[in-house]
C-alpha cells in the first residue's frame, strides 16, 4: 500500500511546488526533479518490476496518470509564467505617446543662403545656370584678364587681401568677376552664367563686411545688347524686391565693361528720401539710394582674354552684393551689415 501513498505524496508535493514557482528556470528544475531521468516519479516507475500481476498494473496506472498530470500542470504553469513575463516586458517597454517632450529647437537657413537660392531661381527662369570658381585665385583671373594690368590704379578700389605678400599673385577673390574668364575658357558658347561666391575686401563698416557674397552674371552671345542687360536687371529687381522698389542706372566706369553702369535701388530704411522720420540723415544710404553693384557690356579685351572673338560675340555682365540685396529687400531694416555674420541667435532667429 505504501507505494500508492508515496506516489500521491510525490504528486501533491509536486503540484504545490509547481503552483508556487514564479520563474521559468525554477519550473524547469522541478520538471527535472520529478520527471527527469533520475526524477522522483521516474524512479517509482522504474521500481515497478518489483510488483507483479494486478498490483503492477494498478501501480503502473497510478504512476502514469500522475506523470501525465504533472506534465500538464508544468505545461500550464509554463504558459502562465511565459505570458506573465511577456506582459512584464510590454509594461517595461511601454512608450507613452501622449507624454510631452522637451521641444527640439528647429534651425533654418541663414538669410544669405536663402537669398542665394532665390537669386539662383530667379535667374534660372531666364536660362542662367550657377557656376562656382575658386575663392583663392590668381591675380590673372581677379584683375589682369579683366583689363586691369598690374599696378593699374583702378585696382585700388578692390581692397584686396593677398595670400602671401612675397607671392602677390594669389589673392582672396575681391569680386566674383574672377569667374568670367574661367567660364569663357570652357570654350562653350553661348554663356549664361551666375557665379555666386564669397568675396573678401579690407573694409569694415556698417555697410561693408570684410567677407561678403556677390553674384556675377555673364551673358555672351552673338547679339547681346544693352537692352538685354537692362531687361535682365529689371526682371531680377521686380522678382526679388517687388514692384515697389525703384531702380536707377548711372553711367559709371569699370575696366572690364564698356559702357559701364552703376545700378542703384531706392533705400528701404528711409523710403528713398535719405532722411529718417526724426529728420536725421539715413545712416545707411545718406541720400535715398543704395548702390547694388555694377553692370555693363563686356570689354573686348576681356573677351579676348577668354579666347572669345569680339567681332563675332558680345556680352553683358553685372556683379552685385548678396548682402546688399538682402538689406534692401522690402521689410528688412538691418542697420549694420556685419550683424549677418556675428552668429547672434537673437538676430538670426528673427528671419
Edge-to-edge strands of the sheet including 136-138?
A: 136-138, 167-172, 162-164
Q: How far is the CB of 348 from ligand PHE (least distance, A)?
A: 26
Nearer of residues 147 and 177 to ligand PHE, judged by Cβ: 177
Residue 318 exposed, middle or buried by CB count within 10 Å (0-12, 13-18, 19+) = buried
Q: How far is the CB of 259 from ligand PHE (least distance, A)?
A: 11
Nearer of residues 39 and 174 to ligand PHE, judged by Cβ: 174
DSSP state of 236: H
Q: How far is the CB of 307 from ligand PHE (least distance, A)?
A: 19
Q: How far is the CB of 274 from ligand PHE (least distance, A)?
A: 23
| Pair 321, 292: CB distance under 8 Å | yes
Q: How far is the CB of 296 from ligand PHE (least distance, A)?
A: 5
Please name the residues in contact with 126: beta carbons below 8 A apart, sequence gap of 6 or more.
192, 232, 235
| Pair 316, 226: CB distance under 8 Å | yes
Q: How far is the CB of 216 from ligand PHE (least distance, A)?
A: 6
Nearer of residues 34 and 261 to ligand PHE, judged by Cβ: 261
Over the range 279-309, which residues count as b (16 or more CB within 10 Å of their CB) and which as e? eeebebbeebbbbbbbbbbbbbbbbebbebe
Q: How far is the CB of 107 from ligand PHE (least distance, A)?
A: 31
Nearer of residues 133 and 254 to ligand PHE, judged by Cβ: 254
Nearer of residues 55 and 258 to ligand PHE, judged by Cβ: 258
Closest listed residue to residue 219, CA positions, set 250, 239, 248, 189: 189
Q: How far is the CB of 219 from ligand PHE (least distance, A)?
A: 11
SS3 289: strand
Nearer of residues 66 and 176 to ligand PHE, judged by Cβ: 176
Question: What crossing angle do the helices spanning 2-20 and 24-35 adopt, rounded to 10°?
Answer: 170
Q: How far is the CB of 293 from ligand PHE (least distance, A)?
A: 5
Nearer of residues 63 and 194 to ligand PHE, judged by Cβ: 194
| Pair 199, 214: CB distance under 8 Å | yes
DSSP state of 104: P
| Pair 201, 162: CB distance under 8 Å | no
Note the residues at the interface with ligand PHE (CB under 6 A): 175, 177, 216, 254, 257, 293-296, 317-319
Residues, the chain:
351
| Pair 202, 218: CB distance under 8 Å | no
> Do the bridges between strand 129-131 and strand 247-254 make them parallel or antiparallel, or are there none, so unpaired?
unpaired
Nearer of residues 272 and 319 to ligand PHE, judged by Cβ: 319
Alpha helices in 93-224 (DSSP H): 111-124, 139-142, 179-184
Q: How far apart are CA 75 and CA 133, in angstroms?
A: 76
Amino acid at each position: 500500500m505504501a507505494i500508492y501513498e508515496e506516489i500521491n505524496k510525490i504528486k501533491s508535493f509536486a503540484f504545490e511546488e509547481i503552483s508556487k514557482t514564479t520563474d521559468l528556470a525554477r519550473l524547469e528544475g522541478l520538471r527535472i526533479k520529478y520527471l527527469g531521468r533520475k526524477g522522483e516519479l521516474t524512479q517509482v516507475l522504474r521500481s515497478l518490476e518489483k510488483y507483479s500481476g494486478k498490483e503492477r498494473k494498478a501501480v503502473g496506472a497510478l504512476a502514469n496518470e500522475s506523470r501525465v498530470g504533472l506534465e500538464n500542470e508544468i505545461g500550464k504553469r509554463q504558459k502562465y509564467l511565459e505570458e506573465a513575463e511577456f506582459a512584464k516586458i510590454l509594461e517595461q517597454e511601454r512608450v507613452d505617446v501622449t507624454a510631452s517632450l522637451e521641444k527640439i529647437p528647429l534651425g533654418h537657413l541663414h538669410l544669405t543662403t536663402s537669398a542665394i537660392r532665390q537669386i539662383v531661381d530667379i535667374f534660372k527662369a531666364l536660362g542662367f545656370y550657377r557656376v562656382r570658381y575658386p575663392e583663392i585665385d590668381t591675380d590673372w583671373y581677379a584683375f589682369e584678364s579683366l583689363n586691369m594690368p598690374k599696378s593699374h590704379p583702378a585696382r585700388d578700389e578692390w581692397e584686396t587681401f593677398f595670400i602671401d605678400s612675397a607671392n602677390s599673385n594669389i589673392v582672396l577673390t575681391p569680386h566674383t568677376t574672377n569667374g568670367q574668364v574661367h567660364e569663357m575658357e570652357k570654350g562653350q558658347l553661348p554663356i549664361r552664367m551666375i557665379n555666386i561666391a564669397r568675396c573678401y575686401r579690407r573694409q569694415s563698416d556698417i555697410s561693408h563686411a570684410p567677407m561678403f557674397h556677390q553674384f556675377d552674371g555673364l551673358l555672351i552671345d552673338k547679339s547681346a545688347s544693352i537692352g538685354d542687360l537692362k531687361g535682365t536687371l529689371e526682371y531680377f529687381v521686380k522678382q526679388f524686391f517687388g514692384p515697389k522698389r525703384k531702380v536707377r542706372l548711372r553711367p559709371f566706369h569699370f575696366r572690364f565693361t564698356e559702357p559701364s553702369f552703376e545700378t542703384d535701388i531706392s533705400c528701404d530704411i528711409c523710403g528713398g528720401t535719405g532722411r529718417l522720420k526724426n529728420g536725421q540723415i539715413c545712416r545707411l544710404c545718406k541720400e535715398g539710394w543704395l548702390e547694388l553693384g555694377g553692370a555693363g557690356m563686356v570689354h573686348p579685351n576681356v573677351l579676348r582674354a577668354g579666347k572669345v572673338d569680339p567681332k563675332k560675340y558680345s556680352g553683358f555682365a553685372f556683379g552685385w552684393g548678396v548682402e546688399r540685396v538682402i538689406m534692401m529687400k522690402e521689410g528688412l531694416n538691418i542697420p549694420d551689415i556685419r550683424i549677418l555674420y556675428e552668429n547672434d541667435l537673437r538676430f538670426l532667429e528673427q528671419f
